[in-house]
Structure 1
Amino acid sequence: MPAVDQYTEWEWILMGIAELSTNHSIRPAVELSMSAQTMYDKCVTLARNLWWTWQPDVINLFRDLDPIRWRQLDHNPVALLAEMTPERLEARVAELALQSRINQAYRRLKEYLSERPLWARTNAGVLGSKPVAYFSLEYGVHESVPIYSGGLGVLSGDHCKSASDLGVPLVAIGLFYDQGYFKQHLTVDGWQEEEYIDVDVTKLPLDLVTDAQGKPIIITLETRTSRLMAKVWQMRVGRVNIYLLDTDVEGNSPEDRELTSRLYGGDNRTRIRQELVAGVGGVRVLRALGIKPGVYHLNEGHSAFAVLEVIREKMMDDGLSFDEAFREVRQCTVFTTHTPVPAGHDRFDAGLVEEHLGPLRDALGISHETLMGLGRVEPSRMDEPFCMTVLALKCSRKANAVSALHGRVTRQMWSSLFSWRVEDEVPIGHITNGVHIPSWLAWQMKLLYDRYFPDRWFERMGEPEVWQAIYNVDPGELWETHLTLKNQLLAFVRRRVSRQCRRRNEPDEVIEAARTILDPNILTIGFARRFATYKRAPLILHDIDRLARIVNDPQRPVQFIFSGKAHPRDTAGKEFIKAIANLRHDPRFAKRIVFIEDYDINVCRHMIQGVDVWLNTPRRPLEASGTSGQKAVLNGALHFSVLDGWWAEAYDGSNGFAIGHGATHRSEHVQDARDAESFYHVLETQVIPEFYDQDADGLPRRWVLRMMNSISSLAWRFSSHRMVADYVRLAYLPAACGTSAEMPR
């Protein structure tokens, strides 16, 4: 789906007309017909459930209502409809004959919400009466709801979408950030600057949660020094409800009203207060709503305080001692850890813990030392800070990493916590991450699959047999579909880069050059992710002269598209961005390497759907999973990666390309040099020759066969439907009803 960032003169004229037509001061004072209001209400209902985000026909419907404003508003139908009167909508519907499409979409949504799929009835069993409470600090469902920063949030969003599609009874808890994550801008010299923008909650698909009397539900949390209050927003994602706590409440201090404003902002005190609200506050939201979960799933350690609140409830409701309640709650708690990097695990000093958990500790009837011991590897070591991951591991029946290799690394990392066990018996398994296929599959590719795949294949995405039908697709048709998506990506990149140049007031010739960068006939490699240093974005620059020869080969050139953000306090990550972005000033790379600002779901969607190759260069074994490559695979891109995360268990020699052989050198310097050499060698001897080995019709048959091998072997295996089904079988059901299912290690 195209996204427009600059407009032709004709488009600006149309936008002016649209603005005039939506000006409230000139709207005619007419009584609305019932049909107009009904049609408008149906569109609003569709817009306020994010089910539409994985329905191409509904996306196209909203876009057709006003293509220019749709693009300007970040594909936000709530904001779009807020600018339209029912009578204007009725006129637009009549003009384009959209009424049947609206009715069909509305009917499909109602049918979707009213049924419980066969998969859930057959496999989710007891969860129907004991739903899963899923806690995550961020949710990346769609770019129009900016309460996510990257992979963890998108994974949480995909988890909720697949739980909805499969009918798994699940309710999600998080925080509402009214400034979201930052907007990224680069200066002329390539330095990242951050901008925070207030989000208008009235333009989001959120409803304030109220009680039976219609009053907003307010959650109260006591600390040693203050009282925190939070209201609750409901966001509907198909059949799954996400409840988001928001501390912008009258009665909170000015500091606390801003507590949930920014994702991953502030210092340790801000972080512990956010995690108190998400964890303890989240459990209290469930109680206020009358929801009694059978399973508590902690997605990362950020929300581990939730377990302490559930223990308190057990003690209060059932008259149990702390130890008795701890054992019961532990049996129904599941924990997923996502990072093998020590800095990714939150740690707090004893003073912060006592200030914020003191009143809860009093209610639990335990000492400060006992509480601190729950978050320490060595409980009696007074200088050890409180670690949220340690708390989550100690309080969980099931714990898992997010890939097989990450499982091994995590067991080694936390082996000291289970010192009485050998490393292989540390109780941390793995469930490899997956992606929500309907959200990331280009609609052009879906149309192609529809013609060749079995009937109703979209309901059987997790079955490997379904994807073998890719070999029935005409190679030329698959390649032409890919080229269509590639051209859309390059047009998008040109618009974005020229807009970046205009914002920086660069010369006209620079702006004009940006409109012609990149060539659809050239091998195009994409790299987009968080610019953490261990992800080694500048690995390709290890031998800059060799890279220059590669990208400028007169017969077989190569071009790169980069995007991604560094954390505002990550100076080294910002230096990585600067090194890549400034290549545009080098004549050897000016038209061969580009950097797109402000990476988000929209940029990701364009890139993973249009590149020829998706590149990933983490320092093994520090990539927990990495799901962006899984999204690219769905659309025919070939993954080219270090054998880390999911790729370590996915690469078979014929379904992509590998950097290195899975070895890890003791010296980071040596490993970086070795991986860089492998990258250049594989690029020069495998990737480039195969891409440019084209027949008389311009069809790279060996390349297309590798695309087919990739889709057939990986698409079904690394879907979030498979992932959520694994959680149900290996974690949720054992936690809900006490059965034993062994998680793979």
Structure 2
Amino acid sequence: MAAARPMTVAYFSMEICLEQAIPTYSGGLGVLAGDTLRSAADLRLPVVAVTLAHRLGYFRQHLDADGGQTEGPAEWRPEERLQAVAQTVTVQVEGRPVVVRAWRYDIRGVSDGVVPVFLLDTRLPENSPYDQTLTDTLYGGDSRYRLCQEVVLGMGGAALLEAMGYGEETQFHINEGHAALLCLHLLERQYAGRQPWEANVGDVEAVARRCIFTTHTPVPAGHDRFAGDLTREVLGERAATLDALQLWEGTELNMTRLALRCSRFINGVALRHQQVSQEMFPEFPIGAITNGVHAVTWTAEPFRQLFDRYFPEWRRDNNYLRYAITIPVEDIRSAHRAAKQAMLDEVERRTGVHLDPRVFTIGFARRATTYKRTDLIFSDLDRLRSIATQVGPIQIVYGGKAHPKDENGKAMIRRIHESARKLGDLVKVVYVENYEMTLGHLLTSGSDVWLNNPMRPLEASGTSGMKSALNGVPSLSVLDGWWIEGCLEGATGWSIGADPGLTVDPTADIPELYYKLERVVLPLFYGMPYKWGEVQRNAIAVNGSFFNTQRMVMQYLQNAWAPGSANEALIAAPTA
């Protein structure tokens, strides 16, 4: 075993967005994880991360002319890009030994900080053909496959870090419940030398002192649950610890509840999400640390150059973005024109559709699933036509994948294509297939307004609107997730619906959306360009300066990772 290391935070996440060429993410959770680690590297914090290699990625999306989605693998070969870690470990899966290795990817910060990410891989000849696939596909397979994956992530990842010398000083940050089985591994280490049935609440408390849990899902159905019989088959004798410590939820293994029981700090990812989560799990104290995005990564080049000119310290200290309020409005508008043209050029390159840079352009790009209500703006096509004719032309750019098994999400994409045909050139609509990091960067920075209209309260946080804000793109959004905190009506953007509470009648948002477009947003865009520029500037200065992962990571540091005097030890520890 390697020599023991100083205090470290080990960040576990089923998906992490590292870069475009490494398709180890599906959407917001993975992008948040990557941004978190980029800011940790910027701040030179001793953080390491663990995820799976996902050799076949999430999937590549293809859309036919009618919006029908088909999927293909997004294959990559870690051995061609990354350095292999010398250590391997073995975990028991369904009574079989499964060998786990890892590949190292280094995230480098703005100075000399480095956060290593270890991507676990079971594609080894020692493993059975089935076990070699366990680290292949993100969110693929059946419940058995998913649980076996989570054994590799949580238990295999924790064992690998031990083999590499990350010892008892290591703090574990569980980013969503997929990695919660690392708690089971830590419990076994805690009661080593005793039998499982001798484990007690003191052992749970000892493990909890080392664990932090961030929950991202505001609905019960979104939390991983596995049937008791399946869990016992996969875990084998290790299920005895769950029995002894009553870590089941009825007859099921609930990964969220396992993480909740075994963590000393628990948080939701926005203030509203914390309130919803507290209602779901009233027996656990749940706090709030609102998400952010990595400022340098998601700022378009024209705005990077603009910020470098006015306050070059912004890359090192995102608080300097507050000073964007002093940038002349015309400079903001000029940078946006360049970012918008870059987006429109790429849309035309990918789709063949030419969009007019003078026309008000709505951006909407995120996972295509029912609660996101991707097609809400097409609820009344006659009203939309009237607005475009009477007030000013509109064009809309879409992106987003539906999960391969989400037939409702796929149907929503087809409805958007159908609406686009009916609207024709009066309201041009283009859906760009295979939404990924590069396209997300262009759309969030190049749109004129960022639209988001989920069903309340199902948006835990949302981060695409934060990316837009960095680029002077205001949001038009339902008051849910982060937007409750970020919306200053008419100053940083606009709300859809005034009540941030639960939606009683989901259709009530439709007339409100059309009203805001017709009476507020479009008249401002076309009739008062200087005032519009002030809103753009406010979005950067107010929201861009706060909703970033540098602020978020500092909150984790101060409140979760190393409470009290331990902060000094964590900050002083050398980077791995």
Instruction: Measure, in 2, the Cα distance between the counterparts of 1:317 and 1:691.
Output: 70
Say whether residues 1:458 and 2:315 are aligned partners: yes
Say whether residues 1:386 and 2:253 are aligned partners: yes
Aligned pair in 2 of structure 1 residues 589, 208: CA closer, same or farther (>3 Å)?
Answer: same
Amino acid at match of 2:247: L
Aligned pair in 2 of structure 1 residues 133, 656: CA closer, same or farther (>3 Å)?
Answer: same
Instruction: Measure, in 2, the Cα distance between the counterparts of 1:270 and 1:616.
Output: 33
1:496 aligned partner: 350
- Structure (1 or 2) with the greater helix fraction: 1
1:369 aligned partner: 243
Deviation at 1:660, TM superposition (A): 0.4
Instruction: Measure, in 2, the Cα distance between the counterparts of 1:606 and 1:317.
Output: 56
Could you give the per-residue CA deviations for residues 678-720 of structure 1, whole angstroms, max 9, x where no partner exists? Answer: 11001111100000014xxxxx100011111211111121110
- Corresponding residue SS for 2:192: helix
Please, what is the CA RMSD of the aligned residues?
2.1
- Preserved CA contact (<8 Å) 1:497 1:596: yes
- Preserved CA contact (<8 Å) 2:17 2:33: yes
Correspondence for 2:394 among 555, 558, 573: 558
Could you give the per-residue CA deviations for residues 320-373 of structure 1, whole angstroms, max 9, x where no partner exists? Answer: 9622332211112100000102222000011111112223245xxx4x6336x3
Deviation at 1:403, TM superposition (A): 0.1
Could you give the per-residue CA deviations for residues 602-642 of structure 1, whole angstroms, max 9, x where no partner exists? Answer: 11011011111011111111100000100010011111100
Correspondence for 2:298 among 440, 444, 452: 440
Correspondence for 2:366 among 529, 533, 537: 529
- Preserved CA contact (<8 Å) 1:233 1:244: yes
1:603 aligned partner: 439
Could you give the per-residue CA deviations for residues 246-305 of structure 1, whole angstroms, max 9, x where no partner exists? Answer: 111112111111111110000000000000000000011001101124311100000000
- Preserved CA contact (<8 Å) 1:294 1:736: no
Amino acid at match of 1:458: R
Instruction: Measure, in 2, the Cα distance between the counterparts of 1:519 and 1:539.
Output: 23
Aligned pair in 2 of structure 1 residues 605, 477: CA closer, same or farther (>3 Å)?
Answer: same
Correspondence for 1:266 among 130, 136, 141: 141
- Preserved CA contact (<8 Å) 1:280 1:308: yes
Amino acid at match of 1:456: E
Instruction: Measure, in 2, the Cα distance between the counterparts of 1:467 and 1:576.
Output: 37
Normalised by the length of structure 1, the TM-score is 0.72
Aligned pair in 2 of structure 1 residues 135, 170: CA closer, same or farther (>3 Å)?
Answer: same
2:27 aligned partner: 150
1:625 aligned partner: 461
- Corresponding residue SS for 2:435: coil
Deviation at 1:318, TM superposition (A): 10
Instruction: Measure, in 1, the Cα distance between the counterparts of 2:357 and 2:55.
Output: 39
Normalised by the length of structure 2, the TM-score is 0.93
Higher relative contact order (CA 8 A, sep 6+): 2
Say whether residues 1:316 and 2:192 are aligned partners: yes
- Preserved CA contact (<8 Å) 2:12 2:173: yes
Say whether residues 1:704 and 2:517 are aligned partners: no
User: Could you list the runs of 5+ residues in structure 2 that have no partner in the other structure?
Assistant: 109-113, 569-576
Instruction: Measure, in 2, the Cα distance between the counterparts of 1:436 and 1:245.
Output: 25
Instruction: Measure, in 1, the Cα distance between the counterparts of 2:236 and 2:432.
Output: 46
Instruction: Measure, in 2, the Cα distance between the counterparts of 1:170 and 1:590.
Output: 51
- Preserved CA contact (<8 Å) 1:562 1:596: yes
Deviation at 1:664, TM superposition (A): 4.3
Q: How does 1:325-344 map to 2 (within 5 A)?
A: 325-344=203-222
Say whether residues 1:730 and 2:566 are aligned partners: no
Deviation at 1:731, TM superposition (A): 0.4
- Corresponding residue SS for 1:592: strand
Instruction: Measure, in 1, the Cα distance between the counterparts of 2:48 and 2:553.
Output: 14
2:281 aligned partner: 414
Say whether residues 1:299 and 2:166 are aligned partners: no
Say whether residues 1:131 and 2:5 are aligned partners: no
- Preserved CA contact (<8 Å) 1:441 1:631: yes
Deviation at 1:136, TM superposition (A): 0.3
Correspondence for 2:39 among 162, 171, 176: 162
- Preserved CA contact (<8 Å) 2:484 2:500: no
Instruction: Measure, in 1, the Cα distance between the counterparts of 2:440 and 2:567.
Output: 40
Q: How does 1:448-487 map to 2 (within 5 A)?
A: 448-453=306-311, 455-461=312-318, 463=319, 466-487=320-341
- Preserved CA contact (<8 Å) 1:309 1:360: no
Say whether residues 1:542 and 2:542 are aligned partners: no
Say whether residues 1:172 and 2:46 are aligned partners: no
- Preserved CA contact (<8 Å) 1:172 1:241: yes
1:359 aligned partner: 237
Aligned pair in 2 of structure 1 residues 665, 400: CA closer, same or farther (>3 Å)?
Answer: closer
1:18 aligned partner: none
2:287 aligned partner: 429
Instruction: Measure, in 1, the Cα distance between the counterparts of 2:561 and 2:427.
Output: 51
Correspondence for 2:404 among 559, 568, 583: 568
Deviation at 1:650, TM superposition (A): 1.3
Could you give the per-residue CA deviations for residues 106-154 of structure 1, whole angstroms, max 9, x where no partner exists? Answer: xxxxxxxxxxxxxxxxxxxxxx931111100000121111100000000
Deviation at 1:166, TM superposition (A): 0.5
Instruction: Measure, in 1, the Cα distance between the counterparts of 2:323 and 2:204.
Output: 50
- Corresponding residue SS for 2:105: strand
Amino acid at match of 1:682: K
Correspondence for 2:106 among 231, 236, 242: 236
Instruction: Measure, in 1, the Cα distance between the counterparts of 2:564 and 2:221.
Output: 29
Instruction: Measure, in 2, the Cα distance between the counterparts of 1:468 and 1:157.
Output: 24
Q: How does 1:648-663 map to 2 (within 5 A)?
A: 648-653=484-489, 654-663=491-500
- Preserved CA contact (<8 Å) 1:294 1:735: no
Instruction: Measure, in 2, the Cα distance between the counterparts of 1:194 and 1:147.
Output: 16
Correspondence for 2:510 among 660, 673, 676: 676
The structure that has the greater radius of gyration is 1
Amino acid at match of 1:328: A
Instruction: Measure, in 2, the Cα distance between the counterparts of 1:625 and 1:317.
Output: 43
Aligned pair in 2 of structure 1 residues 618, 589: CA closer, same or farther (>3 Å)?
Answer: farther
Amino acid at match of 1:334: I
- Preserved CA contact (<8 Å) 2:294 2:548: yes
Amino acid at match of 1:386: L
Aligned pair in 2 of structure 1 residues 714, 359: CA closer, same or farther (>3 Å)?
Answer: same
Amino acid at match of 1:232: A
Aligned pair in 2 of structure 1 residues 143, 736: CA closer, same or farther (>3 Å)?
Answer: farther
Q: How many residue pairs are counted as aligned between the two chains?
A: 556
- Preserved CA contact (<8 Å) 1:643 1:662: yes
- Preserved CA contact (<8 Å) 1:295 1:735: no
Instruction: Measure, in 2, the Cα distance between the counterparts of 1:450 and 1:197.
Output: 36
2:154 aligned partner: 279
Instruction: Measure, in 2, the Cα distance between the counterparts of 1:427 and 1:333.
Output: 14
Instruction: Measure, in 1, the Cα distance between the counterparts of 2:499 and 2:124.
Output: 51
- Preserved CA contact (<8 Å) 1:648 1:662: no
Instruction: Measure, in 2, the Cα distance between the counterparts of 1:535 and 1:563.
Output: 13
Say whether residues 1:402 and 2:269 are aligned partners: yes
Instruction: Measure, in 1, the Cα distance between the counterparts of 2:367 and 2:88.
Output: 35
- Corresponding residue SS for 1:623: coil
Deviation at 1:316, TM superposition (A): 2.6
Correspondence for 1:183 among 56, 60, 72: 60
Could you give the per-residue CA deviations for residues 507-532 of structure 1, whole angstroms, max 9, x where no partner exists? Answer: xxxxxxx3xx2110011110000012
